[in-house]
A and B are shown apart, each in its own frame.
Chain A
Amino acid sequence: MAERQTRGIIIEGLRKRYGAGETAVDALKGVDMAVSPGEVVGLIGPSGSGKTTLLKCLGAVIEPTAGRMTLGNDVIYDGKWRIKDLRALRRDRIGFIFQAPYLIPFLNVTDNVALLPMLAGHSDGESRTRAGELLEALDVAHRASAMPSQLSGGEQQRVAIARALANRPPVILADEPTAPLDSERALSVITILNAMAKQYETAIIVVTHDEKIIPTFRRIYRIRDGRTEETAGEGRSTEKPETGKPEEERA
Chain B
Amino acid sequence: MISLAGRDILHGWGKFALTGLGLGLLIGVTLTMGGVYRGMVDDAMVLLDNSGADLWVVQQETLGPYAESSSIFDDTWRSVSGMPGVEEAANVTYLTTQVRRGTEDVRAMVVGVDPGMPGSPGQPGYLTAGRHITRSHYEAVADGATGFRPGDEIRIRRNTYTVVGLTRRMVSSGGDPMIFIPLKDAQEAQFLKDNDSILQQRRRTASNPSLNRPGVPGLLESVITSQSANQYVNAVLVRLLPGADPDETAAHIRRWLRLEVYTRDQMEEILLGKLIATSSRQIGMFLVILAVVSAAIVAFIIYTLTMGKIREIAVLKLIGTKNRTIVSMILQQAVGLGVLGFMIGKIAATFWAPFFPKFVLLQARDAVTGFAAVIVMCVLASILAIRAALKVDPAEAIGG
Contacts and interface: CB of A to CB of B under 8 A. Distances in A.
Interface stretch (A75-83, A98-106, A134-142, A234-242): A98-106
Nearest to A62: B395
A31 interface: no
A87 interface: yes
Interface residues of B, number: 26
Given A56-B395, A96-B398, A98-B399, A61 B319 contact: no
The winner among B1, B10, B321 for most chain A CB atoms within 10 A is B1
Interface size bracket, A side: 20 to 34
A124 B318 CA distance: 21
A52 B399 contact: yes
Contact of B394 (A61, A106, A107, A147): A61
A55 B12 contact: no
Contacts of A163: 319
Contacts of A106: 4, 7-8, 10-12
Given A102-B311, A102-B315, A104-B312, A111 B2 contact: yes
Interface stretch (A114-122, A183-191, A196-204, A218-226): A114-122
A52 B397 CA distance: 11
A91 interface: yes
A47 to B, nearest CB: 9
B398 A90 contact: no
Contact of B398 (A98, A115, A124): A98
Contacts of B397: 96, 98, 102
A59 B312 CA distance: 17
Contact of B399 (A62, A88, A91, A175): A175
A120 B320 contact: yes
Chief secondary structure at chain B's binding surface: helix
B14 to A, nearest CB: 13
Interface string A55-83: 11001011000000000000000000000
A155 interface: no
Given A98-B399, A102-B311, A102-B397, A118 B1 contact: yes
Interface string A16-51: 000000000000000000000000000000000000
A201 to B, nearest CB: 21
A12 interface: no
Nearest to B320: A91
Interface string B231-247: 00000000000000000
A114 B399 CA distance: 24
A247 interface: no
Given A105-B11, A107-B7, A175-B398, A118 B2 contact: yes
Given A61-B398, A90-B318, A98-B399, 16 more contacts: A52-B400, A55-B398, A87-B320, A88-B320, A91-B321, A96-B318, A102-B397, A104-B315, A106-B10, A106-B12, A107-B4, A111-B7, A118-B2, A119-B320, A124-B2, A175-B399
